[in-house]
A and B are shown apart, each in its own frame.
Chain A
Amino acid sequence: ETGVTQTPRHLVMGMTNKKSLKCEQHLGHNAMYWYKQSAKKPLELMFVYSLEERVENNSVPSRFSPECPNSSHLFLHLHTLQPEDSALYLCASSHSASVPYNEQFFGPGTRLTVL
């Protein structure tokens, strides 16, 4: 248990569906992150939020829409996805997004399959 939870753990959706991934951290951190992990590729940073403000958007297609209502919760809204979006989506949190040398704590991930 890292203090970061993600739901659902597995999700199968069609290309026309709309779904959301949820992440919650119980560590009192101020920064939250979405990463995408595809087979045989390094983890790719998608979004960074610091104190509910988005500080980085790593050229992610608009079919992925993040939301951070407070410093403990992070959502990733999905719509009209493509099969190549199938991957493990990992959420992470850290004390701060503006200072290096602070480790990130990861959730267990959501395994997404787009049919």
Chain B
Amino acid sequence: SQELEQSPQSLIVQEGKNLTINCTSSKTLYGLYWYKQKYGEGLIFLMMLQKGGEEKSHEKITAKLDEKKQQSSLHITASQPSHAGIYLCGADNQAGTALIFGKGTTLSVSS
């Protein structure tokens, strides 16, 4: 079965600094999703990537799917306290009926 590994598990950065979170799949990715979760709450959809080499940006967050389609990175520029939370990557399961998820990366931003 497919597994998603996220790194790092947790991250503390100073406000204004840049950071990158990685998501590595054990199998080829056909759809890669990034979500953000505040502790104990639901997931907020950030971006979806489909094609190798695809890159999408929303405000100060950029996500990229590598050419071989087995890894994605999420980059935050000039981090702010509002960026704090848990970032999860998800991928379409083999049947295409639901998503599998990584364990998440907890981001803290200190001011």
User: Chain B residues near A108 (CB, 8 Å)?
Assistant: 41-42
Quick check: B98 and A48 within 8 Å, CB to CB?
A: yes
Task: Tell me if B87 is interfacial: C-beta within 8 Å of chain A.
Answer: no
Quick check: A98 and B97 within 8 Å, CB to CB?
A: yes
Quick check: B4 and A100 within 8 Å, CB to CB?
A: no
**A57 → chain B, closest Cβ, in Å?**
11
Range of interface residues on A (Cβ < 8 Å): 20 to 34
Range of interface residues on B (Cβ < 8 Å): 20 to 34
Kindly count the residue-residue contacts between A and B in the assembled complex, taking CB atoms under 8 Å apart.
Answer: 67
Task: State A42–B23 Cα separation when bound (angstroms).
Answer: 13
Interface residues of B in 5-49 (CB under 8 A from A): 30-31, 33, 35, 40-45, 48
**A100-B31, A106-B43, A108-B42 in contact; A42/B102 too (CB < 8 A)?**
yes
User: Chain A residues near B35 (CB, 8 Å)?
Assistant: 106
Task: State A90–B99 Cα separation when bound (angstroms).
Answer: 13
- Footprint of B on A, CB under 8 Å? 2, 4, 6, 33, 40-43, 45, 48, 50, 55-56, 88, 90, 92, 97-101, 103-109, 111
